[in-house]
Amino acid sequence: MDKKDILSRVDHTLLSQTATWEEIRQILDDGIKYGCASACIPACYVKQAAEYADGKLPICTVIGFPNGYHTTATKIFETRDAVANGADEIDMVINIGFLKDKRYDEIEQEIRKIHEACSGKTLKVIIETCLLTDEEKIKMCEIVTNAGAEFIKTSTGFSTAGATFSDVELMRQYVGTNVKVKAAGGISSFADAEKFIELGADRLGTSRLVKIMKHV
């Protein structure tokens, strides 16, 4: 795969707590320049970013981030607010404690409601694979498929580990044909990115690939 093709699948990401508008603007400029799939940024910058990018780059933001234990009502409000501010894509975090408690129906209902609040925008469901057993990962593939979200996503990048090749392989195997896979967290080379795509990832959440391009 050529680098341009790989970059077209990248959600160019900056979600650090200290992110300033100047840094976000740089992410947008680079995302536009290198033809990325989107810029994934904190919700507080979505309105400003959407106005700045002016349709040249889709704007993605995160909901219930990074821990996922917000109430459903809170996540729905965050989603509606983000969409109203111009977000094109929403990456939500599931309630991991509920998954451990086997409260599967509640998780599925939450995803359905958030998907509804997306008003036709793309929803990616972060399951935080590093905290789950294989059994729980497989269960989440089933739940995300049933709930109708567009993507299942490995990680927030804020927990104990990011995406692994084995997790992407597993998710691609068990998720429905209508659901795409996003690998995120720790993707630091074009070789790794290509391997993730070969294993079935449609999207990659990273900032490092654009940084590599800038220093070529």
User: Can you give the residue ranges of every domain in the chain?
Assistant: 3-214
For residue 159, name the pLDDT band (cuts at 50, 70, 90). Answer: very high
Catalytic-labelled residue, pool 121, 124, 180, 182: 182
C-alpha to C-alpha distance for 152 and 20, rounded to whole angstroms: 28
Give the separation between CA 96 and CA 69, rounded to whole angstroms: 7
Extract the tokens encoding 169. Answer: 């392989």
91 catalytically annotated: yes
Catalytic residue at 153? yes
Identify the CATH number of the domain defined by range 3-214. Answer: 3.20.20.70
Residue 112: pLDDT band with limits 50, 70, 90: very high
For the stretch 32-84, pLDDT in tens is 999 999 999 999 999 999 999 999 999 999 999 999 999 999 999 999 999 99
Average pLDDT over residues 159-178: 98
Task: Note the pTM of the prediction, 2 decimals.
Answer: 0.98
Choose the catalytic residue: 153, 167, 180, 192: 153
Q: Which of 30, 91, 167, 192 is catalytic?
A: 91
HSE-up (13 A, CA, CB side) for residue 214: 11
Q: Examine the pLDDT at 145 and tell me if it is beyond 90.
A: yes
Contacts of 215 (CB under 8 A, 6+ apart): none
